[in-house]
Amino acid sequence: MIVGQFGGGAAADWIAGEGTGSRLFTGAGDGTFTSALLATPAIVAAGRLTADELDDLVATFGDTVALYRNLDGGDFERSSYQVFTAPVFTAVADLTPNGLDDIVAWSSGQLFFLESTGDGDLAPAVELVSGAPDPQFTDGMHVAAGDLDGNGRIDLVVDHVVYLRSPAGLLTAVATVAFDHGPCSWR
Ligand SMILES: [Ca+2]
Ligand SMILES: [Ca+2]
């Protein structure tokens, strides 16, 4: 489930997976919601990837990462996509930082950065890290993003490896977290 500002009102909305797609629940502000099936694949992330106040959607399917621009009224239009190697995992955060969320994609042992241009497009993928942190985890790589050390730069977690980013945006692997039971997922 993903909570965000997907409709024009002030109330929060949410999206849940349904089959191979997604369903949007638009909040009325009084605890009730209107639901509608979206004409998108299953949504994996959301954020402000275009220069308006509405959250846009990110989906991954097979080898593809796609940005769905929020047109308001429950309509989303695929405005950009990039092809990697399946499977691909993503996180959404403002890495630049310029007020627009960007996409991080993990695919086939490589971590990529896709900067949002603000008009619904994505800049060509830039490789950040190459080489799986640990071959034990290559079947279930997940990626998450957040400012873990409070320096104003979004840091990254690739499965069980923490990468901190310097003010210049450079990545340094600083910690490996051990788990007893195989791949883990991040929220
Ligand atoms: Ca940005
Ligand atoms: Ca940081």
Q: What are the phi and psi torsion angles at 113 (to 5°)?
A: -115, 130
Confidence category of residue 187, pLDDT binned at 50, 70, 90: very low
Beta-carbon neighbours within 5 Å of ion ligand 2: 147, 149, 151, 153, 155
Which ligand is located closest to the Cα atom of residue 146?
2
Cα(126) to ligand 1 centroid in Å equals: 14
CA distances (Å), origin 49, targets 90, 137, 185: 14, 30, 24
Q: How many residues does the chain have?
A: 187
Cα(101) to ligand 1 centroid in Å equals: 5
Q: Which of the 8 DSSP states describes residue 119?
A: B
Name the pTM for this structure: 0.86
Q: Tens of pLDDT along 86-112?
A: 989 999 999 998 999 999 999 888 889
Which ligand is located closest to the Cα atom of residue 164?
2
